[in-house]
Structure 1
């Protein structure tokens, strides 16, 4: 029997982005079911309730909402499944951040119903994907859960994004900047992606497009958020962070950057940082490990500093002297099965630890040469 190799492009059934589209959530969910369950924490619900209520009324849908905690834990998922079954719900929508959306995906899959992602910030590329990241109650990475389909709907309102904290958009940019750096590494090895045996050219191309849009629009998009306005630059970055990066990482592949992020979840010093902030350290570490051209590394440090992303150990609460912690991150990032092994060379804990350590010196030198602020030590809130 001949070997079967699958090149898979995974995508949500429908992606909706624009000003005030939260008002149309009811009509979009109407095509998926008649008894939706909305999942949102109290802060998010206070922001969106009035905007979506009229649309639900016009679509003759009941507004049923349950709250959500901080992390997508196995227990949180199981609790949602029980709520779905007890209430006879036929579609579930996660409104808010990545953990809310991930828990909803996992619960929707287990309950065998449709699910929708409704991010209220462009803070990660998770909403479009057919996977969820499960954590402990303390926020430590436990596992990826993979599903046989992507969300039935992804809806993101750019007015909500413009009014969300600036740091959320910064984190989304950090998450999305990794997409092309990782996808191009996977393209060299033709390694497994999150959904297939090898990447698609489409997934790789979308990852590169995300990168290009960010370099052209990120700083202007951040100005829009500071002004709480929706501009073409903000629309472009929202699409790059959410759709293009989502399709790019899933069908183009992950490599070192996200594995190093996963390793960091075991380091208490890094707790409180956003997903994208930690991923950015992983991206720089990957660039150093792969021997990227010095001009590319310099440009990356300058650009990510201007965006407001960490690119030094200090900014994630560490120093080069914290070798025990750095080694622990490196060990966790290189466990069997991690995506770091999609790199086109053998990656060891020593290689990761050395690259993370030298990042501090590199960052400080390049920032000084460009008149940029020197890194400040991050202190996690315990």
Structure 2
């Protein structure tokens, strides 16, 4: 079975671009010295300085050219006008799988399905299912329908004050959220947990080939993935609910912080370099840049217990040769007046855990959708 390890080559790591910058500067200096003239030396020095500045300057934990690229991409998104939420080309529809509806999500990068994990006491109480993403990785190798990525998502939503009246608006709101995302109506909720599987467009061709091809073949492949995930969870003694179209749509909206906003109505959203806001919720996303050594996949679970108000933790495992790369996003959702305190809590706890985070400046809007139960789409 493949080994799970943090994805290499993250932003800010020394790599090919930096080697090229050093080589270009060395060649420029060598050519100038060989030419010997003052003009040639001046030009060579300028080229060398420009190459080093471009390749080795840093900004916010990234190389400067990476930050410039992200700023340019963010400007293009702004210039394109209001974006469709939660993501461009996002849609959810139902597929009849032997008499049961399977919810299938689709965006510009591919398709995905999701499963709500945990019974009522596991989702709503302090006991959570002993689920680890690395224990599901055999799905990346076995069978003819191999997912492009597997994702574990946790949404921590603080419950209302202890003992809310059963008919109170708070209790009603939590029951509606649970009904949409888990198929159950017991509340209030403390944690919602999902497992999602994604099939990228490139992998969909191969996965669909043995199932009649075309879009119908893709749907059959996704249904097979949902069945295999359910079987693996059942074998582990973990209760689950395969999401239909309404539940999948509700889960994505809840994880994106859009559950309190009317579906289909225009939403006032604003993207900034240091965050994203929709309605009265601000979002700030962080990517895990460094784990304690040696890496223990169980460390992902520790992030899901951080008491930082509304918190989303997404761990995406994707195939990378003989190994599996892990990308983990921690996203804080809070009203503007509570955001700083929530971020401070996250930083304090991750420092205690020996986990280093990097703010995803310029990518916060993209990270909102990618950290919802979408299989890590469009990021």
Pair in the same fold by TM > 0.5: no
Select the structure of larger CA radius of gyration: 2
Higher normalized contact order (CA 8 Å, seq sep 6+, divided by chain length)? 2
TM-score by length of 2: 0.29
Looking at secondary structure, tell me which structure has more strand per residue.
2
TM-score by length of 1: 0.29
